[in-house]
């Protein structure tokens, strides 16, 4: 493939934008090379400015369940945009989308819209702290909850594994209230409770999507629920990625455990910038203007984003069997990847949850971030490069998740598997 125009575009972007990108992972830093600059999307495909076509398994990092440029979602966006892009005032669309979410999620009585997943998580944690009157929070190594200060932490040295800042510009005074535990390891959470003077909440991706795809085990989630109940802490499910992706009810359609608060994003905007957080009525009543916990946003509940989200969600509700089809295709794809790897004696384990999929170049089960780090990133880097040259656009990090859309038919899945065989044979040589 020719990437001359993308190479020049990246050089030009780097003159005006730090690193040439507006989100770090887009720079292809972990896989090498220059990112293709995208001109347009259509269904399961992306087209770059050099005219190359790719089968897209990123789908804007999750929200495009119906692929790029779905006609019904496009129509809803255009029709709404013609009435005005933003008002900073209430619209009926906000209530309509809120009602749809509340009716689907047993754990949500009320919901508030924001503009991103980062903002949703930041606001939910503030609400949890305000509702409990406590400062400490527990998060899990390998789970990503956005780039707010309290959540940019790395493992510390204390018995409770208190967090240290993992980015310059983050005060240690903020992250000292963030305790780190190990995913799928209840004992590590128990130690956090033992060492803290007061934990406001435990926040977890019930289906982790930022260390690769790593689901939480059911007994582990049950244990978290019991610990939070015992200590009077709130349990927050970060479903920014899994909400409406893993199932119509997100991860909560796959587990019996119910959180106190939920954060949502990506999918509820159908491709437009959006986020949300919601939970039990008495907790949400602590939120301004009903209660004392302040949170605001001029563009929150933006009508164009609400319209896109409503169109997407109503399409999903009208045919829930979509999730069965998507899961079948995700399994077919990952089984094909694994068979291709094993054919050339390379290790690989795979995971699927609904329309989300992941794979690691390792022969050991992946239950947490330490397991994920044992995957062979050099093989992944080579695989990503070879697949890109064969017209397959995968997430540009081994710690990200892939997504299937309704536009990924069986023929495209088979084409992708053939590309995987060719790529892995080339790598094995």
pLDDT tens, position by position, 105-157: 999 999 999 999 999 999 999 999 999 999 999 999 999 998 887 787 764 43
Q: What residues contact 46, with CB distance under 8 A and at least 6 apart? A: 36, 38, 40, 53, 54, 56, 68, 393
Cα distance between residue 410 and residue 166, in whole Å? 42
Residues 361 and 375 in one domain: yes
Residues 273 and 306 in one domain: yes
What pLDDT, on the 0 to 100 scale, is given for residue 251?
Answer: 96
Better pLDDT: 144 or 419:
419
- Give the end of a domain, one of 264, 293, 318: 318
Strand partners, 239: 264
Output the domain CATH number for residue 19.
Answer: 3.90.1150.10
Output the domain CATH number for residue 129.
Answer: 3.40.640.10
Cα distance between residue 295 and residue 124, in whole Å? 10
Confidence band for 214, pLDDT divided at 50, 70 and 90: very high
pLDDT digits (tens, 9 = 90+) for 271-320: 999 999 999 999 999 999 999 999 999 999 999 999 999 999 999 999 99
Query: Phi-psi category of 216—alpha, beta or left, where left has phi over 0 and alpha has psi -120 to 50?
Result: beta
Residues 33 and 148 in one domain: no
Residues 391 and 296 in one domain: no
Q: What residues contact 419, with CB distance under 8 A and at least 6 apart? A: 387, 390, 391, 392
What pLDDT, on the 0 to 100 scale, is given for residue 163?
Answer: 56
Helix (H) or strand (E) holding 260: none
Residues 87 and 214 in one domain: yes
What pLDDT, on the 0 to 100 scale, is given for residue 166?
Answer: 73
- Give the end of a domain, one of 264, 292, 318: 318
Residues 211 and 88 in one domain: yes
**Residue 254 φ then ψ, to 5°:** -120, 0
- Give the end of a domain, one of 318, 342, 368: 318
User: What is this structure's pTM?
Assistant: 0.95
Helix (H) or strand (E) holding 236: strand 234-239
Catalytic residues: 144, 238, 266
Strand partners, 42: 45
- Considering Cα of 325, then 275, then 45, then 380, what sign does the dihedral take? negative
What is the span of the domain harbouring residue 371? 4-69+321-428
Whether residue 215 contacts residue 207, with contact meaning beta carbons closer than 8 Å, is answered with yes
Lookup: tokens for 124: 């939910």
Residues 335 and 306 in one domain: no
Residues 298 and 166 in one domain: yes
Provide mean pLDDT across the span 32-44.
Answer: 96
pLDDT digits (tens, 9 = 90+) for 52-104: 999 999 999 999 999 999 999 999 999 999 999 999 999 999 999 999 999 99
Provide mean pLDDT across the span 379-386.
Answer: 97
**Total number of domains in the chain:** 2
Residues 86 and 153 in one domain: yes
Query: Among residues 411, 400, 344, which one has the least CA distance to residue 375?
Result: 400
Residues 257 and 173 in one domain: yes
What pLDDT, on the 0 to 100 scale, is given for residue 288?
Answer: 96
Lookup: tokens for 384: 């990503």
C-beta neighbour count of 339 within 10 angstroms: 14
Residues 8 and 137 in one domain: no
Residues 46 and 131 in one domain: no
């Amino acid at each position: 493939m020719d990437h001359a125009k993308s190479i020049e575009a990246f050089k030009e972007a780097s003159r005006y934008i730090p690193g040439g990108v507006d989100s770090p992972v887009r720079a292809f830093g972990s896989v090498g090379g220059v990112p293709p600059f995208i001109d347009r999307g259509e269904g399961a495909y992306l087209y770059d400015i050099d005219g190359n076509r790719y089968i897209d398994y990123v789908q804007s990092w999750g929200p495009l369940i119906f692929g790029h440029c779905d006609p019904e979602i496009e129509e809803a966006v255009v029709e709404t945009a013609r009435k005005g892009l933003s008002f900073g005032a209430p619209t009926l669309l906000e209530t309509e989308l809120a009602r749809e979410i509340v009716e689907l999620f047993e754990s949500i009585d009320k919901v508030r819209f924001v503009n991103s997943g980062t903002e949703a998580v930041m606001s939910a944690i503030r609400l949890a702290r305000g509702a409990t009157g406590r400062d400490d929070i527990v998060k899990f190594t390998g789970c990503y909850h956005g780039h707010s200060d309290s959540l940019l932490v790395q493992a510390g040295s204390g018995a409770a594994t208190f967090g240290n800042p993992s980015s310059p510009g983050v005060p240690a005074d903020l992250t000292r209230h963030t305790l780190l535990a190990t995913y799928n390891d209840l004992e590590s959470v128990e130690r956090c409770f033992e060492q803290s003077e007061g934990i406001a909440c435990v926040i977890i991706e019930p289906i982790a999507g930022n260390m690769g795809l790593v689901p939480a085990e059911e007994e582990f989630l049950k244990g978290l629920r019991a610990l939070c109940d015992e200590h009077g802490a709130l349990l927050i499910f970060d479903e920014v990625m899994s909400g409406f992706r893993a199932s119509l009810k997100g991860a909560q359609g796959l587990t019996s455990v119910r959180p106190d608060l939920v954060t949502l994003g990506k999918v509820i905007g159908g491709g437009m910038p959006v986020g949300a957080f919601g939970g039990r009525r008495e907790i949400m009543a602590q939120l301004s203007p009903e209660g004392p916990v302040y949170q605001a946003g001029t563009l929150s509940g933006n009508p164009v984003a609400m319209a896109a989200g409503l169109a997407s969600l109503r399409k999903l509700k009208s045919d829930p069997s979509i999730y069965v089809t998507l899961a079948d295709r995700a399994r077919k794809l990952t089984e094909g990847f694994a068979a291709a790897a094993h054919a050339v004696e390379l290790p690989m384990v795979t995971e699927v949850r609904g329309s989300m999929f992941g794979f690691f170049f390792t022969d050991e089960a992946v239950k947490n971030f330490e397991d994920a780090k044992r995957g062979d990133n050099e093989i992944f880097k080579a695989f990503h490069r070879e697949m890109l040259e064969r017209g397959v656009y995968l997430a540009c990090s081994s710690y990200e998740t892939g997504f299937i859309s309704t536009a990924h038919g069986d023929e495209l899945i088979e084409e992708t598997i053939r590309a995987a065989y060719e790529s892995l044979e080339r790598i094995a040589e």
